[in-house]
Amino acid sequence: MQTEGARQYIKFLATGQEFATDIMGVREIRGWTETTTVPHAADYVRGVVNLRGVVLPVIDLKARLGMGMTEVTPAHVIIVLQSGERSTGMLVDAVLDIMTLTEDQIQPMPDIVRETSNDYVEGVAVLDGRMVTLLGIDKLTAGVEAFG
């Protein structure tokens, strides 16, 4: 349940770091399913999977962040994100929990980082001494074309 001025986020692990995204954009969480490679797709697109009759492109978050491809194990999961009419799967190491954040708990990225990184990082929350990077689904999945 969201209270006024607070939003719920799903927190997950990738590249040894904690990330989160607004839970309202999460459609479901699935266990890892082997993908079918798509020729000429962006390097961070793992391929596609069949999601109840729909071809779902799956991005590798580690690769999307410019840190190389994930070495997948059966423990990895795919978070199915919904952005407008478009669904995209996002490969992550693990889903951790759901957290509620208020606006004052979210800090913007420092200017020097923002200038060199992609604009899908919406901010950072410091929780129990750990930094959680907040990712915007719309910008993270923008331009993801499995058949690129």
- For residue 148, being part of any structural domain is answered with no
Confidence of residue 145 (pLDDT cuts 50, 70, 90): low
Maximum Cα–Cα distance for the chain, whole Å?
A: 45
CATH number of the domain at 14, please.
2.40.50.180
- For residue 147, being part of any structural domain is answered with no
* Count: domains in the chain: 1
Tens of pLDDT, residue by residue over 43-102, are: 899 999 999 999 999 999 999 888 999 999 999 999 999 988 889 999 999 999 999 999
Domain coverage including residue 123? 6-141
Tens of pLDDT, residue by residue over 28-48, are: 999 999 999 999 888 899 999
> What pLDDT is attached to residue 146?
44
The answer for residues whose C-beta is within 8 angstroms of residue 106's C-beta and 6 or more apart is 122, 123, 124, 125, 134
CA distance 87 to 27: 8
Average pLDDT over residues 108-124: 70
Closest by alpha carbon to 123, among 143, 99, 107, 138? 107
- For residue 33, being part of any structural domain is answered with yes
Q: Give just the sign of the alpha carbon dihedral 142, 7, 111, 16.
A: negative
